[in-house]
Amino acid sequence: MPKKIIYLDNAATTPVDKKVLQKMLPYFSEKFGNAMSLHTMGEEAGDAVEEARENIAKILNCDVQEIFFTSGATESNNTAIKGVVKRYIQEFKGEIPHIITSAFEHHSVLDVFKSLERDKKAEVSFVAPKADGVIDVDDLKKEIKNNTILISIMYVNNEIGTIQPIKEIGDLVKEVNKKQRKSPLIFHTDAVQALNYFTCDVEYLGVDLMSLSAHKIYGPKGIGVLYKRKNLNIPPLMNGGGQERNFRPGTHSVPQIVGFGEAIKLVKKRLEKGEDKKMKEKRDYLIEKILKEIPDVYLNGSREKRSPNNIHFRFDSVEGESLLMKLDMEGIEVGTGSACSSASLQASHVLLALGLKQEQTHGSLRITLGKDTCKKDLDYFFSKLKKIVTDLRKISGNVLDEFKNK
């Protein structure tokens, strides 16, 4: 096993920051009260939950009553989308609404839309991104009907890192809602990959629902948030308790909630120090190096409209899985796409949505930098990458030659 691990898969998950962990620790065994209990320990836990809620509300520029804790972004996405559709069907006595999303969403959005379509609970439009991996607002506008009740577009694509025009979509939704409609058009965004680097001010963006996750911002796994605009009433996904103002039942996971609250405070500090700009410089340094010194390699997605930490390449005549495993043997951790589906050998739905052919998708590699990634790590990664790509192409060429000679 290599002596040093270089972790370049921060879009999949991030390590818990030591400051976050220290804030969490007392709530496991010292301050372990149930946040709903009325005794002193319960109130202590409840106060910690509300402090975290306040920290998150400040970043989102919203009321604390609009923040709901969940088990993660997958639950938040399911709650938001299914809740909006269920409310419409109840209000209009079984009438089926129309909803819109993109063709390259995270599966926790895309699969919900597909299930609603399959179960005939909604008519669905899947809008394809442009070749650069960015949604065209005009393409969205063309899909809006009188019975369209929901648009759900992710803020930053989890695989190729492209930034979507969320504010422009929010402005479009506001314009649509000025007209007389059967039901208001609601805007949801999965902002999981955006929170580390971009404003998530819900008033500025014009969103009604926003999903977030702690483990992408150096917080713990298993805790998420759904921002829900105060005047938006949707039914809960689950029933069984009075927690989260009767919207999300289940005993509060106080340590995780505390961790989320602390992690989001640290995000603000990093942005104030301009660490996102420093990361962008390191990202561009590596992109330039790879494009200049390794032949037949292509950057997937826009060069400019891209998260500061995301690099996504495809290499001709190389299998992404082989590349990943060879790098892993050298102590370098990267991804071939979404970590939620990287165990599958199926072609990436994100890359297919960009218009790539199936065979073009298999040589892809996702490199996502973290706050502790240094230039020395990137140089080491590049030296190993260049050698491995060269070796794999030789093997691929030899196999092809043998096949041709038979």
Residues designated as active site: 340
Q: How many CA atoms lie within 13 A of 113 on its CB side?
A: 23
Question: Would you say 163 and 305 are in contact if contact means Cβ atoms under 8 Å apart?
Answer: yes
246: left (phi over 0), alpha (psi -120 to 50) or beta: left
Question: Would you say 149 and 186 are in contact if contact means Cβ atoms under 8 Å apart?
Answer: yes
Helix (H, G, I), strand (E, B) or coil at 158: coil
Q: How far apart are CA 99 and CA 143, in angstroms?
A: 9
- Closest C-alpha among 254, 276, 241 to residue 370: 276
Question: Which H or E element spans position 150?
Answer: strand 148-152
198: left (phi over 0), alpha (psi -120 to 50) or beta: beta
Q: Which residues contact 373 (CB under 8 A, 6 or more apart)?
A: 7, 8, 10, 279, 282
